[in-house]
Amino acid sequence: MAKRPPKLPKSLKVERRGAIAILTLARPEKRNALNDTIVLGLETFFATLPASVKAVVLHAEGKHFSAGLDLSELKILSTEEGVAHSRGWHRVFEQIEFGRVPVVTVMHGAVVGGGLELAAATHIRIAERSTYYALPEGSRGIFVGGGGSVRLPRLIGVTRMMDLMLTGRTYGAEEGQAVGLSHYLVEDGTGLAKGIELAKRIATNSSTTNFAIMHALPRIAEQDRASGYLMESMTAAIAQGNEEAKNRIKAFLEKKAAKVERN
């Protein structure tokens, strides 16, 4: 008997297209502001991904990707409760970053606060030209709580993040591309098609290699050189030792696989 798909909140929608799943933030009336319902829905979605899904595309309905934390649902918490709440979001976003499959995010409009933290936890980011980025926590009297202070400085540097938070500065799509917030910059309305194209390409990779890129590569980059070289050699040996890798290399040597060409 086939398993029923997990029940997700109405603020999340899922569509399957072969080996990829398209996950949509569907709360446009709130500019896709994040709340615990959405975050727990994300946890359910990624924890129950079918084995046949090899990549995920994350995008959003309406004019904005996500305007960040839904302040209308912000509760006054004790210090202990606040730490637990933030750690809950960390757990979910870590499940995305270090999950089973790569996630391609398509951004447009506002990518603000928690919305930027969510995007930063994914692996490939596409920005449409309408995209703009901000971290308004400084003016709200709060602090990032979804892992932004860990992930974003690794993307754009500590001082750029300080500038965003202290001054309320925003980056447009071009500025975000230049500093590393996005990998691809596309015209408005074309981001989802680009995201699906990339996800389909990613889904054809070896699952072992994709897993190594997601899990080993970030950790290698943070190690000292000697430890990094050792971890790289072990990861390379594991990746090339499975049957799928051997078959792919054989196909290339027999000229049955495509050569690298400029896109």
Q: What CATH number is given to the structural domain containing 160?
A: 3.90.226.10
Average pLDDT value for residue range 73-99: 90
Tell me which H or E stretch contains 201.
helix 191-203
Of 117, 124, 120, 127, the closest CA to residue 173 belongs to 127
Which of residues 63 and 239 earns the better pLDDT score?
A: 63
| Catalytic residue (choose from 43, 73, 81, 117) | 117
- State whether 216 and 235 are in the same domain: yes
- State whether 41 and 86 are in the same domain: yes
Contact predicate 14/8, CB 8 Å:
yes
Is 80 one of the annotated active-site residues of the chain? no
Residue 18 lies in a domain: yes
Of 31, 57, 30, 178, the closest CA to residue 119 belongs to 57
Q: The tokens of 151 are what?
A: 């992930």
Residue 10 has pLDDT above 70, yes or no: yes
Average pLDDT value for residue range 91-104: 97
Is 197 one of the annotated active-site residues of the chain? no
User: What is the residue-averaged pLDDT of the chain?
Assistant: 92
Reported as a single tens digit per residue, the pLDDT across 185-216 is: 999 999 999 999 999 999 999 999 999 999 99
Q: Domain ends where: 169, 187, 203? A: 203
Reported as a single tens digit per residue, the pLDDT across 144-176 is: 999 999 999 999 999 999 999 999 999 999 999
Other C-beta atoms closer than 10 Å to the C-beta of 132 total 20
Residue range(s) defining the domain that contains residue 16: 12-203
Average pLDDT value for residue range 62-81: 87
- State whether 197 and 216 are in the same domain: no
Sorting pLDDT into bands at 50, 70 and 90, what band is 6?
confident
- State whether 42 and 152 are in the same domain: yes
- State whether 137 and 170 are in the same domain: yes
Structural domain tally of the chain? 2
Residue 2 lies in a domain: no
| Catalytic residue (choose from 29, 97, 137, 222) | 137
- Strand positions, DSSP E, 70-197: 103-107, 110-112, 124-128, 132-134, 170-172, 184-186
Find residue 172's DSSP bridge partners: 132
- State whether 46 and 136 are in the same domain: yes
Sorting pLDDT into bands at 50, 70 and 90, what band is 141?
confident
pTM exceeds 0.95, yes or no = no
